[in-house]
Each structure stands twice: as structure tokens, then as C-alpha cells.
Amino acid sequence: MEQFRNIGLLGRMGSVQVVETLKRLKNYLVGEGYAVILEEATAAVLPGHNVQVSSKKMLGEICDLVIVVGGDGSLLGAARALAGCNVPVLGVNRGRLGFLTDITPTEMEPQLAEVLSGKYVEESRFLLDAYVKRNGEPVGYGCGLNDIVLHPGKSTRMIGFDLYIEGQFVNSQRSDGLIVSTPTGSTAYALSAGGPIMHPRLDAIVLVPMFPHTLSSRPIVVDGNSEIKIIIGDYNETYPHVSCDGQTHVTCAPGDTVTICKKPQKLRLIHPMNHNFYQICRDKLGWSSSRDQGGQ
């Protein structure tokens, strides 16, 4: 297991709870003798911190571990910034669901002590790159840990598009769009749209149509190394958007091509030793257990 010495802290802004947790975390780590580096925006909400400050991008270069305090959205943003740095990322949950941020504030210090002593499990999560081209020229790019979504933007009209997987024509669709999701994102927007839950270790991508105009249009699971191409019909009157994790947006035009493929660099996500994906599903999605059914 790695020895962590330089630890970066990154927090979601605009939350009193996050600021309180960041203060506790910083004081704990400094007290334990670790070198703490604060991300610039995070440092701004911790006046008098007396520790090193770094840009988000540099955080991944100079730290052995980055701890993100916030919800899953905070970790998604950190993942896109840090995926190319090969630095492990750990989440402290101060959001709602917490599929990715699984250290609880109430037990933060003992859980952190275990992780920092080398008692943790590590997962490799892949991201998706999305490239938008117009007449063969690049006009936009984004990446996402959860998903790449083609959607109508502010319009209420359906989008017509052709779908290709690995260069093979799949179908022509008329729908509100398409969610292209990683296993990490299968418990997010894709799940709301009727997609399957995929275990995070799967090397697969799911394509979930959004409100398709035909009942036969169903989610498709494909190999994680597949290249997915969406050609937006040039007959469309609307200008659909491509969103990455709901945070990066590219406006498309009729006739544009959206190419989606696995990002070469992966996110190193670490968890406490008791991490259990199915337990998280039970807790977060309200799955029943044998106790609820009167079982033993």
C-alpha cells in the first residue's frame, strides 16, 4: 500500500457543513503530521489556514492523495481534473446520495486513520471523452466520469439522430436524446431513465434512450472499448446540447457528429476496507433486506 505524505483537500463551495468538515479534516491531518495542500477555491473559505495552496490541476501533481469533501458532484468535478495525474482520490460525503463519497463525517477521523495506515481498497474507474465535430472540424470537447448526454437543451422538441457503434450502424432514433454512461454513472441519470445498474468493475458502457418515440428502443450495453458515434440529423430544427456529468456543456448543430470513447487515463478511487457496492445500493436506493421481509 502507498504511503501518503502530501494530502490535497478539495471541497464543494457554498455549504457551511462542508466548510466545518474541511476545518476538522485539515486540523486532524496537520495534527497527525501530514503535509496539507488546499485547492485554491477551497483555501478561500478557510481563512488563516497556514498551509500550502495549489490550483486544482497542480494538486494532482504534488499530492499522494486528494480528499474531496462534498457530494458525488464534487467528486465528479475532481475526477475530470485529476484523472490524468494518477493520484488516488477519497471522498468524504457531505452531499445527498454518496455513491462515490463514502467516508461519513460522523466517523471521519477513525475511518481516515485506517485508510492512511494502508487499510483501504482501490478501484479503477474509467471516464468517457466526447468530441463534437462540424463539417469535420472540432467544435467542442468534454469528459465525464458518469455520463455523456445528448439532450434538447431548452427546447421541448425531439432530436433525430443516427447511432453507430464501432463503425456499425445501429439505428435511427427520434427521442429526447441519449445517455451514454459508464458503470459509475449507471446509478445516476441513466438509472432514472430506465437503464440497468452495472457493477463498477465492469468494462462496459450502457446507452439509454431518453423518451424514445418507439417502444422497441431499449438500453444497450456494449464493450467498454467501443467507439460510439452519434450523427445529429441535418433536418433537425433544434440545436441539441452534449453535457458531460451535467457540468460541461457543448452546443451542437444539425449535421454535427458526436464521438464518444473511453478516456485513456483512469480515476483511482479508494474506499475504506468495509466498502460494499451492494450495501450502498441497499442504503441509497432503498432496496429491501431479509430483515424487512421477516427473514433471519
Q: Which residues are catalytic?
A: 72
Say if residues 67 and 10 touch (Cβ distance below 8 Å): yes
Residue showing cell 437543451? 153
What is the distance between the alpha carbons of residues 208 and 260, in angstroms, rounded to a whole number?
14
What is the residue-wise DSSP string for the chain? -PPP-EEEEEE-SS-HHHHHHHHHHHHHHHHTTPEEEEEHHHHHTSTT--SEEE-HHHHHHH-SEEEEEE-HHHHHHHHHHHGGGT-EEEEEE-SSS-SS--B-GGGHHHHHHHHHTT-EEEEEEEEEEEEEEETTEEEEEEEESSEEEEE-TT--S-EEEEEEETTEEEEEEEESEEEEE-TGGGGTHHHHTTPPP--TT--EEEEEEES-SSTT---EEEETT--EEEEE-TT--S--EEEETTTEEEE--TT-EEEEEEEEEEEEEEEETT--HHHHHHHHH----TTTTT--
Do 87 and 63 meet the contact criterion of CB atoms below 8 Å apart?
A: yes
Task: Starting at the earlier edge strand, list the strands of the sheet with 204-210.
Answer: 220-223, 204-210, 177-181, 147-151, 241-244, 248-251
Cβ atoms within 10 Å of 178's Cβ, excluding its own: 28
